[in-house]
Amino acid sequence: MEKKELDEFDNFYKGNMEKHGYSSIYVQRTGQKRDGCGIFFKHKSAELILGEEIHYNDLIDTIDCKNGSTDIGIERTLNEVVKEGMVAEDPSNKNDDDECGNQDDPCVRLKRDCVALLAAFKLKDPSKHVLVVANTHIYWDPAWVDVKLAQVKYLLSRLSRFKDVIANKFSCTPSVIVAGDFNSTPGDEVYEYITSTAANVDNSAHDMRFYSLYRTNGGEPLFTNCTPDFTGTLDYIFLSDTCHLKAVSLLKLPHADSTDIVGGLPNHYHPSDHLPIGGEFELLSAASSSVADHLNDVEISLVELKLQHL
């Protein structure tokens, strides 16, 4: 179970989840922000073997602020995006993410205080399978595509190295799941970068390929975010193409005409403006490659991932 915007982690979530058998790890946003990203797991079913924080402000150290180029392979430099006029911003959208300084300066643009969390788990008897999970909250502003793309590329670069460390240390081929609020709609640059084979093959920063859990099981939800100003899909669960997990059920989301979302979110039924997404999986044996093989697979009834936004 993964959560973002955990501004009451210590006061509410940590203790209450422990009462239900969950342990947790958490990273708070950089600076004075109170929220962050957390991963909760049932300690009876899985053992945390390694965790790693990602602070996207570290991107500033990877960039040449004079020309906007980075060392993580961004196709269009930040300066080029600025020149294309993509920085136009609705003043009504300004919030505490805004920083003082020239926002045409790539180093200022990248200082958004967003974070991610990486964790590796070893599932307990009988499988001992290793699962790598990433949880993130990408910057919100729809006009700042360059910043979103830089953050996602940095995330996948760090995740690739993290996965390799786990694979070498534990002599395994871990399954990889990436989930979060990407503040990006299906088909835009961020989404295509994560799911496009071409984008990943051409990218030297990592060698992983991902597919969307919902897209490959009936299609992305019509929306995961519902407010008076915007309704659309921003949240996803991505699985690596080498993942040994098979989805057996997905968390269903309300329809557009559902009475529990009339007027937008949050409301009495949904305590966040984002809806939870999730799935339940069975673990396949490493040798399985077809449906017929599944009869001999080890099934883990509670290998479960839910991404919730509260």
The domains located in the chain, with CATH, are 2-61+115-309 (3.60.10.10)
Section 132-147 average pLDDT:
96
For residue 15, give both structure tokens.
């203790």
- Max mean pLDDT among 61-65, 197-201, 295-299 falls in 61-65
Calculate the average pLDDT of the chain: 82
Please determine, for residue 4, whether its predicted confidence score (pLDDT) is greater than 80: no
Neighbours of 192 (CB within 10 A): 14
Q: Between 291 and 34, where is the model more confident?
A: 34
- Which of the two residues, 226 and 303, has the higher pLDDT score? 226
pLDDT tier, 125 (very low <50, low <70, confident <90, very high otherwise): confident
**Which spans in the chain are helix H?**
14-18, 78-83, 106-109, 145-170, 189-195, 197-202
The separation between CA 123 and the C-alpha centre of its own chain, rounded to angstroms, equals 21
44: helix, coil or strand?
Answer: coil
Please report, for the chain, how many H helices and E strands are present, in that order: 6, 16
CA–CA dist 249, 172 (Å, integer): 26
pLDDT at 72 over 80: no
DSSP 112: -
Closest CA to 39 of 14, 64, 10, 66: 14
In the predicted model, is pLDDT for residue 94 greater than 70?
no
Phi, psi of 170 (to 5 degrees): -115, 10
CB contact at 8 A, 144 and 87: yes
What's the first-to-final CA gap in the chain, in angstroms? 12
Residue 308: both structure tokens together: 């919730």
Beta-carbon contacts of 291 under 8 Å, excluding residues fewer than 6 positions away, are none
What's the Cα-to-Cα distance from 32 to each of 16, 97, 124, 245, 272, rounded to whole Å? 25, 10, 38, 38, 22
Q: Are the beta carbons of 115 and 56 closer than 8 angstroms?
A: yes
What does the pLDDT read at residue 67? Answer: 62
- Mapped onto helix, strand or coil, the DSSP state of residue 28 is strand
Distance of alpha carbon 180 from alpha carbon 307, whole angstroms:
7
pLDDT of 281 above 50: yes
Q: Is 247 exposed, middle or buried (0-12, 13-18, 19+ CB in 10 A)?
A: middle
Per-residue pLDDT, 103 = 87
Confidence class of residue 296 from pLDDT cuts 50, 70 and 90? Answer: very low
- Beta-bridge partner residues of 130: 122
- Lookup: tokens for 222: 């019509």
Tabulate helix, strand, coil % of the chain (nearest 5).
Answer: 25, 30, 45
Residue 164 neighbours by CB under 8 Å, 6+ apart: none
| Residue bearing the bigger pLDDT, 11 or 278 | 278
Question: Does the predicted model carry a pTM greater than 0.85?
Answer: no
Mean pLDDT in residue range 140-168: 97
Residue 158 has φ and ψ, to the nearest 5°, of -65, -40
Residue 99's pLDDT band, with cuts at 50, 70 and 90, is low
Residue 217, beta-bridge partner list: none
